[in-house]
Amino acid sequence: MAKVVIANDHAAIEIKERIQKHLVFRGFDVHNLGIDAVESVDYPDKAREAAEEFLKGGYDFGVLCCGTGIGISISANKVKGIFCALPQNAFAAQMAKEHNNANFIAFGGRIDYPQTVEAMLDAYIDSHYLGDRHQRRVEKMHILDGNC
């Protein structure tokens, strides 16, 4: 069974629950490192926790959520080996996988998206990294984070 790690802060409980429910519906085993109550937590801590768990291996990808998705995605991208995309629609989610080989995707609980989060997540899940001409660029991104 495919496995996903998910984490969120206090500003993204509802969206995390929607995403988790959708992932289970799609057949994923979801490892929830997020919070389910409104106590305040810091999104950089949740990003680091999820990224470190992902890097242990055994996960297909990770999902992160905070108020805008911005802070938690920036935080995750500071962890060597994590490429976290913050899509604004399904096309961007698809390209995050096909062109950039993103291994995390982030969403904002306080954002009004033009498409459902489930549609964006499906676009990401149903896409595959194309490699080929995109590999050169992905390798350059790895160099930027010291992964080569």
**Taking the chain, what is the end-to-end CA distance rounded to the nearest angstrom?**
30
Q: Which of 10, 22, 65, 66 is catalytic?
A: 66
Cα–Cα distances (Å) from 77 to 37, 83, 106, 121, 126, in that order, read: 26, 6, 11, 19, 23
The reply to whether 99 belongs to the active site is: yes
The reply to whether 65 belongs to the active site is: no
Q: Which of 31, 99, 134, 142 is catalytic?
A: 99
Q: Which are the catalytic amino acids?
A: 66, 99
